[in-house]
């Protein structure tokens, strides 16, 4: 049986691979501070992208992206601010928040059964 933590690691890896195929470069994974965690921090050309990864086995009760509340957005924005303070050299890049919502069964490890919904600039700061 897969734990929630293991499932999170797998879905974050899938999202990272998906975005890397789109030309993104991974800068950091699972950045933590007192405000929260950012799953993936990536570079897309001249943009710094803070990525929230969400997983749902199905969309019967809403998509993963729909589960990102205003409170969660606020935590992500504060966490991103801390990251930028700690990495001042990256302040030259514009920043945005993307969401990758993954739907499907990953128990089979068959990527053909997985759907990716990538929402660029999902919310603003």
pLDDT at 109 over 60: no
Check residue 57 and report its DSSP letter: S
pLDDT band at 23 (very low <50, low <70, confident <90, very high): very high
pLDDT-derived band of residue 17, with 50, 70 and 90 as boundaries? very high
pTM greater than 0.85 (yes/no): yes
- Give the whole-number percent of the chain exceeding pLDDT 90: 59
Q: Is the model's pLDDT at 74 over the cut of 90?
A: yes
In the chain, what are the domains? 4-123 (3.40.1350.10)
**Binning pLDDT at 50, 70 and 90, where does residue 57 land?**
low
Alpha carbons 29 and 8: distance in angstroms, whole number: 12
The answer to whether the Cα torsion of 40, 44, 46, 52 is positive or negative is negative
The DSSP code for 71 is H
Q: Whole-angstrom Cα distance, residue 33 to residue 21?
A: 28
Kindly state the percentage of the chain with pLDDT values over 70.
85
Q: Does the pLDDT value for residue 90 go beyond 80?
A: yes
Write down the pLDDT at residue 31. 97
* Cα separation, 73 vs 37, whole angstroms: 11
Burial pattern 44-80, b for ≥16 Cβ within 10 A else e, equals beeebbbbbbbbbeeeeeebbbeebeeeebebbbebb
């Amino acid at each position: 049986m897969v734990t929630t933590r293991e499932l999170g690691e797998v879905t974050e890896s899938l999202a990272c691979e998906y975005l890397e195929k789109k030309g993104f470069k991974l800068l950091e994974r699972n950045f933590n501070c007192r405000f929260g965690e950012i799953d993936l921090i990536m570079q897309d050309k001249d943009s710094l992208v803070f990525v929230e990864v969400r997983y749902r086995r199905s969309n019967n009760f809403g998509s993963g992206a729909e589960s990102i509340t205003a409170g969660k957005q606020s935590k992500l924005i504060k966490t991103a601010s801390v990251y930028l303070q700690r990495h001042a050299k990256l302040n030259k890049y514009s920043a945005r928040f993307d969401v990758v919502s993954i739907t499907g069964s990953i128990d089979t490890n068959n990527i053909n059964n997985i759907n990716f919904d990538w929402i660029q600039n999902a919310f603003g700061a």
